[in-house]
Amino acid sequence: MQKRKLGKSGLEVSALGLGCMGMSFSYGPPKDKKEMISLIRTAVERGITFFDTAEVYGPFTNEELVGEALAPLRDRVVIATKFGFDTSVDPRAMKGSGPVLNSRPEHIREVAEASLRRLRTEVIDLFYQHRVDREVPIEDVAGAVKELIREGKVKHFGLSEAGTQTIRRAHAVQPVAAVQNEYSLWFRRPEEGLLPTLEELGIGLVPYSPLGKGFLTGKIGENATFDSTDFRSTLPRFMPEALKANQALVDLLGRIAAQKNATPAQIALAWLLAQKPWIVPIPGTTKLERLDENIGALAVELTAADLREIEEAASIIKVEGARYPEKLEQLTGR
């Protein structure tokens, strides 16, 4: 398995991580626990060392799952989790009036202690602020994590979906190892300011939804429907008219895949990996065959000519539909 370092932090992980959210949360009913534990452990056997979870996934059940799965393999893996939502106020975190944020320093400490118990570990390798809380100065957030690092309860500090000025302010207090952000061929906003900032500061990028929440695999047609427990049922980009319009992007990936004897998903991941050496995507899956397919992306070599071809073709495709409902989009880029 190829390894990558997340910026200048010294945090080395497998070139692909595994996003674990969908095993417990957001993508339909929770999956069978025994099967998911087996899948996570198989991922380690395949060389994956980087696993992503959060207290809000469930809430809490995903951390418990990841903790149980990785406890016997703890010395071989890097576990990332997140704080920043107030699950006591809005247990489902993504319904009603929208999620309630809480990044007060005392709450960050409470979340860290609870996450350590659920993850069955003595230290959190990478602790992200899940969303920026405008009620709490980012310097106070960074200072709280800095204290946890000093105490040996956390190793590295991360931010998720933060704006560039917030990243700079946080980084000045406690070096940020990684920023997690949605990034893929169908969501390229990070290129507008985030990537240059991360490169300047020596911070790694961890793209979530690198396969467009499944769309870039080519397995979701324009007539796809989603269960009410699948949060894609609420996303503008997954409405029928958007799915139909955005099929052009999947067709592009399919053309390149045919040339490379690969799949559209593998081309989408290979494209991301080719952007910067400090980018580590975390595709999620609940199926072993998809895990193996994703890992196969590491063997796909995209030449400069291939990348130019993708760029030129993608530049004339207009992606339709917002990625989030307005209430959730307002929590990003702060």
Catalytic residues: 57
Nearest to 224 by CA among 234, 238, 236: 238
Question: For 300, which DSSP code?
Answer: P
Q: Which residues are bridge partners to 7 per DSSP?
A: 203
Q: How many CB atoms lie within 10 A of CB 29?
A: 9
129 token code pair: 């602020």
Q: How far is CA 119 from CA 39, 55, 88, in A?
A: 17, 10, 20
Report CA 53 to chain centroid distance, whole Å.
9
For residue 284, what are the contacts with CB-CB under 8 A and spacing of at least 6? Answer: 18, 19, 20, 21, 22, 23, 27
110-132 burial code (b ≥16 CB/10 A, e <16) = ebbeebbebbbbebbbbbbbbbb
In 3D space, the residue among 158, 180, 177 whose CA is nearest the CA of residue 19 turns out to be 180
Tokens of 42: 């198989």
Whether residue 283 is preceded by a cis peptide bond, meaning omega within 30 degrees of 0, is no
Give the phi and the psi of residue 125 in degrees, each rounded to 5: -70, -40
Structure tokens at 191: 């290129």
Phi-psi region for residue 50, left (φ > 0), alpha (ψ -120 to 50) or beta? beta
